Structure 1
Amino acid sequence: MLKRTLTAIAVLALGTSTAFAHVSLQLKEAPVGGSYRAILQVPHGCEGKATNVLRVQVPEGVIAVKPQPKAGWTLEKIKGAYAKSYDYYGTPTSEGVKEIVWSGGSLGDDEYDEFVLRVYLTKDLKAGETLYFPVVQECADGLAERWIEIPAAGQSVDDLELPAPGVKLLEAAGGH
């Protein structure tokens, strides 16, 4: 009986660690119409191989993107036009960073790190919805993990194998 209980606990522990072993955002909620510090948590590599590239797609409605440089990594900001012009504190903004790429580093499969960007969540985004930042994690030997799945209407993120990191949007904060 004890052996069966210990086996059940071990299986539950394995299942739990696997369920949380994906790239995620540390701060799970943020108000629209303000700045947000997106902290992407990378808990492992790909099939035992080190991560050496992290690509983050910036969703529409997210502007004024400023990624934090990382020692030992090269930072690339890929810019382009937005689908529309957004108001950024009274300034019309129609283009900016659409993708961020950190490359050239080496984050071992048995290591953890965070990749940070500061963004502005426009008032055009809808409070109550979840905004997703698709991430592609490239590893040694051509391996990759594509954290790009976004749930369809009525679908839970828990049903996805490789969910994109998401932040729940809240009503705009009062004041400024």
Structure 2
Amino acid sequence: MSATRVQNVSRTSSRAAARATAVTAIAASAVLLLSGTAAAHVSVQPQGEAAKGGYATVNFKVPNERDDASTVKLEISMPTEHPLSSVLPQPVPGWKVTVSKSKLAKPLESHGRQITEAVSKVTWTADGSKIGPGQFQQFPVSLGQLPENADQLVFKALQTYDNKEVVRWIEAPQEGAEPESPAPVLELSAPADDHHAEDAKDGKAAEDTKGTKDAQGSAHGEKSASASSDGSDSTARILAVVGILVGAVGVAFGVLSGRRRSS
């Protein structure tokens, strides 16, 4: 192979490698850009589990998306299709919280009492604090009673910046497509075990334990009775031997006494 041909092959390989590197860099940048955009919306996550029919503490996580503005207000609307009888926000330093309630079209039953109104919106307003560029803030809330006939709860969120811009995170999730402004979604886990079943299980375990103890006590009693019987038999045998010995001594003493009198 000539030197010229070798140089041409080398140049072609270098160009191909450069193109591959450029394509890889562009693809990586696109992935990072898309993942950053998808992860930048307001979201909600439970602390532990959010089981159907139970209560849970959740965190609304609010990242700041702007380089030249700070977040100063967050509004979270409660789901209207599944009203919650208990919504308790945890105080966040530097933020003022306001809870709004509304009348329910259909009253709720909770712990034997009827609920005619429920929390419809929770609003946090900056009061000496804010979420600056490159920062995020979490807002904890206790929620309950979670619905038993739903797999998730959708909350609508409004994020306000100090430049008066309002970002509306209100689009419900759609299968096979990611909304441009997705609303926070709380996934609900399977309901906790039935307490009655647990009580029955505990009761059965207690009965089994009692039966075992009774059987052990009975066996111990039989063993004690057997030991007592064995002890009584041994004592009787000993007394019988002693009686025989005493009798033998008495006979020998009588014989010796008779011989002495004869002499």
Which interval holds the TM-score relative to the shorter structure?
Answer: 0.7 to 0.9
Aligned equivalents of 2:176, 2:89: Cα separation in 1: 26
Aligned equivalents of 1:90, 1:172: Cα separation in 2: 20
Tell me the TM-score normalised to structure 1 length: 0.86
Residues 1:77 and 2:96 are matched in the alignment = no
Task: Report if the CA contact (8 A) 2:45-2:186 is conserved.
Answer: no
Q: Aligned AA for 2:45?
A: Q
Q: Aligned AA for 2:22?
A: K
The residue number in structure 1 matching 2:132 is: 108
Aligned length: 171
Greater Cα shift, 79-88 or 131-140: 79-88
Aligned equivalents of 1:157, 1:65: Cα separation in 2: 32
Task: Write 1 or 2 for the structure with the bigger share of helix.
Answer: 2
User: What displacement does 1:46 show?
Assistant: 4.5
1:47-96 deviation line (CA, Å, top 9, x unaligned): 64111000010113222100111111111111221232112222221213
Identity, % of aligned pairs? 30
Given candidates 121, 125, 135, the residue that maps to 2:145 is: 121
Structure 1 stretches of 4+ with a deviation exceeding 6 A read none
1:1-176 counterparts in 2 under 5 A?
1-27=20-46, 30-46=50-66, 48-60=68-80, 61-104=83-126, 105-123=129-147, 125-128=148-151, 130-151=152-173, 155-156=174-175, 158-175=177-194
1:84-126 deviation line (CA, Å, top 9, x unaligned): 2112222221213211110024111211110111010344x52
Compare CA radii of gyration and give the structure with the larger one.
Answer: 2
Task: Report if the CA contact (8 A) 2:153-2:185 is conserved.
Answer: yes
Tell me the TM-score normalised to structure 2 length: 0.59
RCO higher in 1 or 2 (8 Å CA, sep ≥ 6)?
A: 1
Greater Cα shift, 28-37 or 12-21: 28-37
Task: Write 1 or 2 for the structure with the bigger share of strand.
Answer: 1
Q: The residue matched to 1:75 in structure 2 has which SS?
A: strand
Gaps of 5+ in 2: 1-19, 196-263
Gaps of 5+ in 1: none
Task: Report if the CA contact (8 A) 1:52-1:103 is conserved.
Answer: yes
Aligned equivalents of 2:35, 2:135: Cα separation in 1: 19
Aligned equivalents of 2:143, 2:176: Cα separation in 1: 23
Q: Aligned AA for 1:143?
A: E
Aligned equivalents of 1:174, 1:90: Cα separation in 2: 21
Aligned equivalents of 2:62, 2:167: Cα separation in 1: 11
